[in-house]
């Protein structure tokens, strides 16, 4: 799976397929960030994906993508003379 500027631009414009692709691309990272480890009274630890945290991170990714100004980002990263 490859993430390129075209997909980011389309997601930024609100194209559902591009947003879906972006969510799938970042899913392993978001899943890892959403893991919670608990220890019960017997000392047994369990790790699970907290769906609430995962959904919040996915929503945040969509929000920042829709707000992202691709043109401004390019201008910032261009070398100055």
| pTM, to two decimals | 0.78
Q: Which two tokens stand for residue 3?
A: 């993430």
Interatomic CA distance for residues 52 and 71, integer angstroms: 33
Query: In Å, what is the CA distance from 63 to each residue of 14, 49, 78?
Result: 10, 22, 25
Dump strand ranges (E) for the chain.
35-39, 45-49
Write the pLDDT tens digit of every residue in 4-59: 889 988 999 999 999 999 999 999 999 999 999 999 999 999 999 999 999 999 99
CA gyration radius, the chain: 17
Residue 68: its pLDDT value, please? 80
- Compute the mean pLDDT over every residue in the chain, rounded to the nearest whole number: 88
- The reported pLDDT for the residue numbered 81 is 46
């Amino acid at each position: 799976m490859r993430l390129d500027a075209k997909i980011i631009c389309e997601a930024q414009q609100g194209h559902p397929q591009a947003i879906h692709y972006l969510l799938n691309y970042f899913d392993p990272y978001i899943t890892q960030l959403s893991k919670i480890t608990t220890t019960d009274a017997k000392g047994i630890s369990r790790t699970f994906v907290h769906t609430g945290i995962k959904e919040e991170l996915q929503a945040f990714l969509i929000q920042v993508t829709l707000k992202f100004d691709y043109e401004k980002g390019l201008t910032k990263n261009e070398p100055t003379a």
